[in-house]
Chain A
Amino acid sequence: MKEIIEKEISLSKEVFHSLPFNNQKNKNKFLGEITNEITHYEDMLQQIYQELENRQKVYLNLKENDYKEYTAVLEQLTKALSYTNNLSTAYEKLKLDKQIYHLVHYQQNNLSKNNQVLKKIIDIFEKAGIPLRLQDFSYTKYVNQYMESFFTYQYCLESGDLEKTFEEIYWKDPYIILELELNIRMLYLKHEKKFEKYVQQVTKQLLSQFEKGESNLIEDYAYLRKKLEQVKIEDKNNVLYHFVHGDYRVEDYYDNKMEGMIQKYFGQNNHNMDEIYQTSLKLLHTLTEYQNYIKYESMIDKIKKLYQETFDKNVIKKQLKTIQTLEKKLFKLNKKSTHSFSKTKVDKLEPEIHKTIQEIHEQYKVIDQSIIQFVLKNHLQDHSTLFKALLLVQQYYCFIADLCKEKNEQISDEEIMQVYHDFTLFVLDPNNTMINNITIAEQCDIKEMIIANYRLLGMQLSSDLLNGSNLEECISELNKIMIYYQMKKMNINIQDLENMNKINKIMERK
């Protein structure tokens, strides 16, 4: 076709070259002819464009697979793993710790989010068979006032009246959120047994979904994560999708480029592609684990430090007892304040009430700071693996959130949730090997372990290769080797992808 068009154009050029336009008549004739010719080539161009567009539709209609059927089960398994272990209480398992953390941290800037969190907390109580009413919120008169308004507007939390009530109360009592927090924590402790029972019920329901039950949860999870990884790698649809959307660049996958990359890791010897794929996958798992280890190294160091420090195991019990005593005192003061008609007497009681609340708050602060150390000391021994230690802290959202805030004060709650999600994925990654074998009391150079291990497999890794941006580059290159292998296996033609890119450019220009 190209030849035919070129010939036609050459002929057309000759015709227009010979056409005279020396006078008005000839010029008009020339313009008539050239206008017809333009129309002819415009039609031709449109036909070609249409055909190119049709061919591109195959790519443009690609939808990314989200593997929801896998992720939904994995989420259930993660929940079941958290519910069945004895590393945390119902407070953490039902995510009340997370909601309360958000309630306290949203306080400065977002009333709307605060109300949503409050609603979530009330829903958690409700699900556990503890419907909360106004009379449950009697920690202070301000808490009661706000909750009265909250219950009125609970189905329209964006109400301006609710906001107005909050603002009015906030002027009188800037500690309203803290008081709400303490009230909820008190309610949790009051109904703790009911919550534990509810967790048992949910656990039973969760386990009924998995044939082999509790003992096989980790294996089921590992099997499914590995299966999902394989499905993702072998998904031709998604490989093409990523090329179409520019996540993968065609020019990165030219044979000469990829051969150079393979030689960089596997040397000049003629390895077969299957061998290269298997070793790349193994190395990729190792390096990803190492990269995550570095990412969470400060957390690991903190866990080790807390585990080694001496600790009074009765501290939490003592604090809870003090809280009970202080709360009794608070309720007496509240009663006096409510029943008093003398303005002066009420005013006298206010500082005492406030002081008691601050004291209760201090006790809870000690509990929050000690809880991780308490569970580490209770559940770990010197021979416990790093995996167990990380699995344990993964149960405690606030511990991870506090570490995030320590590193970056400006971090948003959404970012913390993402860190928590990524951390969970890392801890439960079935391809981890090092954290499953290193004990909490052990000091070892992981980088040297990796280099020595892969030397045995005939791969030359240097210490430099595993540093910072080099490590990232190395992981990215190994991923490319894996994709390249799959492209060969799936018969994905690089020329087709190049054409697809060119058509994309044509379509963008139009």
Chain B
Amino acid sequence: MDLKRVKTNELIECYDIVLDYLKQLESKKKEVEKSNEGNH
């Protein structure tokens, strides 16, 4: 993706969307890791 061509307000929105999804992924990962620890 050529980020240079994206408008700033759209880029900010993208930043927020990606950040939000990253948080979801990290929380899901932690959840699975925790259940994994419980099994050991």
Contacts and interface: CB of A to CB of B under 8 A. Distances in A.
Contact of A31 (B13, B22, B32): B32
Nearest to B8: A499
Interface in B7-37: 8-15, 17-19, 21-22, 25-26, 28-29, 32-33, 35-36
A132 interface: no
A44 B18 contact: yes
A503 B14 CA distance: 12
B15 A52 contact: yes
Given A51-B4, A495-B9, A45 B18 contact: yes
Interface in A4-20: 4-6, 9, 12, 16
Contact of A24 (B1, B17, B25, B39): B39
Contact of B22 (A21, A45, A503): A45
A1 B14 CA distance: 8
Contact of A496 (B8, B11, B22, B39): B8
B12 to A, nearest CB: 5
Interface stretch (A35-43, A137-145, A214-222, A274-282): A35-43
Interface string A103-141: 000000000000000000000000000000000000000
Contacts of B4: 51
Given A1-B11, A2-B14, A34-B28, A48 B3 contact: yes
Chain B interface size, as a band, is: 20 to 34
Chain A interface size, as a band, is: 35 or more
Question: Which of B12, B13, B21, B39 has the largest count of A CB atoms less than 10 A from its CB?
Answer: B21
Contact of A38 (B12, B13, B22): B22
A499 B7 CA distance: 10
Given A27-B32, A41-B22, A1 B17 contact: no
Contacts of A2: 10, 13-14, 17
Given A4-B1, A51-B4, A35 B18 contact: no
A383 interface: no
A183 to B, nearest CB: 68
B14 A48 contact: yes
Nearest to A12: B21
A41 B32 contact: no
A205 interface: no
A16 B33 CA distance: 15
Contacts of A4: 1
A234 to B, nearest CB: 26
Classify the secondary structure of A's interface with B.
helix
A2 B13 CA distance: 7
A42 B22 contact: yes
A21 B32 contact: yes
A283 B33 CA distance: 68
Nearest to B1: A1
B29 A38 contact: yes
A32 to B, nearest CB: 10
A48 B11 CA distance: 7
Nearest to A48: B15
A183 B32 CA distance: 87
Nearest to A495: B9
Nearest to B36: A27
A30 interface: yes
Given A2-B13, A5-B14, A38-B26, A45 B19 contact: yes
A210 interface: no
Question: Which of A1, A31, A42, A55 has the largest count of B CB atoms less than 10 A from its CB?
Answer: A1
Given A1-B6, A2-B13, A34 B18 contact: no
A21 B21 CA distance: 20
A45 B12 contact: no
B9 A499 contact: yes
Interface in A185-220: none
B6 A27 contact: no
Contact of A47 (B3, B26, B28): B3
Contacts of B35: 21, 27
Question: Which of A35, A45, A49 has the largest count of B CB atoms less than 10 A from its CB?
Answer: A45
A44 B15 CA distance: 9
Nearest to A26: B32
CB-CB nearest 3 A-B residue pairs: A51-B3, A499-B8, A48-B15
Interface of A: 1-2, 4-6, 9, 12, 16, 21, 24, 27-28, 30-31, 34-35, 37-38, 41-42, 44-45, 47-49, 51-52, 55, 495-496, 498-499, 502-503, 506
Interface of B: 1, 3-4, 6, 8-15, 17-19, 21-22, 25-26, 28-29, 32-33, 35-36, 39
18 contacts: A4-B1, A5-B18, A9-B21, A12-B21, A16-B28, A24-B39, A34-B29, A41-B25, A45-B15, A48-B15, A49-B15, A52-B11, A55-B11, A495-B9, A496-B8, A498-B9, A499-B8, A499-B12
